[in-house]
Chain A
Amino acid sequence: MNAIILSAVLGVVMMFSSVLVSNQKAYKGIALVGLLIILIANINETYNGPIFEINTYNMLAFDGFSLFFNTIAIVCTGVYFILTSKQIEKVGGHTAEYFTLIFFVLCGATILSAYNNLLMLFIGIEILTIPLYILTGSKKKDLKSNEAALKYFLMGSFSTGLMLMGIALIYGGTGTFALEKIIPAAASAQGAPAVTAQTLSFLEVGGMLLVTFSLAFKVSAAPFHFWLPDVYYGAPSVFTSFMASVVKAAAFVAFLKLFIARAAGTSVDVSKIIGVDWKMIVAILIICTLLVGNISAVRQQNVKRMLAYSSIAQAGFMLFAIFSLNEMAKEGILLYAVAYSLATIGIFAILSRMKDYTFAGYNGLAKSNPALAFANTVFLLSLAGIPLTAGFFAKYYMLASVMQTGHYMWLVIVGVLFAAVSADYYFRVIQSMYFKNSESENEGQLEENPSNIFKITVVALAIVIILVGVFPNSVLYWLYN
């Protein structure tokens, strides 16, 4: 609760600071101090309970999982601010407003990690995406950015429409919006309908299907991925970085919570009769997503576009958690959120400083900027899932969670195969950096020489990723304590 309230308040503070503070540099400081406050408040809530005692009538439920995810999201946002705030200032004349919108997105992410009611799912998704439409279109004169915003907006509201229809059908079938069907004692004392009928409901299954499709849109699982490459490519690189990291992880947490509560528990007996096998649907989504993401990423010549497709491929791996739905999947999605978000933020922080976004633009980076090239290599290796990086354990936990369910060995094999394919396009970037020489030797690959602070933070981030890769339990330790 602390994180939700404070991130909303911080958004308002940033909004007013655009009027009261004229120094562009000050915004970053305000935002970072604000994030620190949110982080402390959230950690405090984890151990001592919330500061504000608010009766949410079971709309929101804060457990260790959601609070820990909030911590991850806040820390990742902090890293994102430290690395890229300079780039945010360059996008347009509304720096403080961009920070405002990012805080609101963070608020949406914290709602999604804690929702316990389909209404909160809906509102959370909207708070998460509406600021993103704006951020996507924030380069107002750039036609690509315009097209990306328009596409993202139309696709996003279309999938919202699907979700609402699904929620309406679920409501018809069960009579409640709560995630678990048992109406809690407090609510029934208030006179809420005590609908606990466990009748078979075709409507509920149909509704769950529509909500699943809509969430698949949001997390860009194939065949609902087609908006993503254009949007990620067209949006300003700084905001693509945020969309591909924190936002995506939040959408996956929402997806996982919904499936753990609904599809697994209540619809299993129903689905046998109707013939809807949730595991099979998710398996099809996984295979399509891995296939489309990896195959298209291999063919790209532009690193930003490659990263967009590779983010589809990574979504395929995160879907394994929604397939297996056990404790290990929960741990895995948190690890994945850490590994994937940090690596993506790092890569985009370097990418957004490049002159040329093609593979050739990276040629010879290792010579001119060995520190950045090293960090970039670590990030790419982590995304590819090479051992000793955080990405390896993230992928390992995902596959192991599927192994735990018992029967689906073939899916694990498919996952491993595609992980191998993904190494191809990540290694091409490393190859350009280390083994190819830049044609314009004296100009350099970066727009301007990065400051030493930037170099140090990027390398520090790379070291953190390696440390998490060596001791993954250091992250998970906090989940249980």
Chain B
Amino acid sequence: MPIQYYIGLAIALFCIGVVGVLIRRNAIIVFMCIEIMLNAANLLLVAFSKMHAALHPTVANAGIDGQLFVFFIMVVAAAEISVGLAIIVMVYRNVHSIDVNFLNRLKN
């Protein structure tokens, strides 16, 4: 597969994530859109790792660091999500809403 296809796909997914962050106010959905962004980066890293592997067929394990980076992203994302959902639940307990701008709304 030409690498441009993968770059295009990953960038499109990334932009879907960015648009979602910008247009939604529900904190959980915003959070899911951030996950889409992370996954776009993951897909791109794997594609690049396979590209570098194809470019250097003689070198053992060429491009393997890209896939390992994806592994680390997944690890970090899991930690981040546990913290994030804890914060969201805490907010919900107090205000019964997970609107991103809940304080502005309370003032009105």
Check whether chain A touches chain B (CB < 8 angstroms). Answer: yes
Residue numbers of A with Cβ under 8 A of B are 119, 122-123, 126, 130, 133-134, 137, 140-141, 143-144, 146-147, 149-151, 153-154, 157-158, 160-162, 164-165, 167-169, 171-172, 175-177, 191-195, 203
Known: A144-B103, A165-B14. A191 touches B51 (CB 8 A): no
Minimum Cβ distance to chain B for residue A331 (Å) = 33
| Extra pairs beyond A153-B87, A160-B38 (4, CB < 8 Å) | A143-B95, A164-B38, A165-B37, A193-B65
Residue numbers of B with Cβ under 8 A of A are 3, 7, 10, 14, 17, 21, 27, 30-31, 34, 37-38, 40-41, 44-45, 48-49, 51-52, 55-56, 59-63, 65-66, 69, 72-73, 76, 79-80, 83-84, 87-88, 90-91, 94-95, 100, 102-103, 106
Residues of B within 8 A of A149 (CB): 87, 90-91
B69 touches A195 (CB 8 A): no
- Docked complex Cα distance between A153 and B79 (Å): 13
A191 touches B60 (CB 8 A): yes
10 residue pairs of the A-B complex, CB under 8 angstroms, read A122-B72, A123-B72, A126-B80, A134-B83, A143-B103, A151-B100, A167-B69, A171-B48, A172-B3, A203-B7
A194 interface neighbour in B3, B59, B95, B106, Cβ under 8 Å: B59
Residues of A within 8 A of B73 (CB): 122, 164
B72 touches A133 (CB 8 A): no
A141 touches B41 (CB 8 A): no
- Docked complex Cα distance between A394 and B65 (Å): 40
A146 touches B72 (CB 8 A): no
Minimum Cβ distance to chain A for residue B85 (Å) = 10
B59 interface neighbour in A123, A153, A167, A191, Cβ under 8 Å: A191
- Docked complex Cα distance between A177 and B71 (Å): 14
Minimum Cβ distance to chain A for residue B41 (Å) = 4
Known: A153-B84, A157-B84, A193-B62. A122 touches B94 (CB 8 A): no
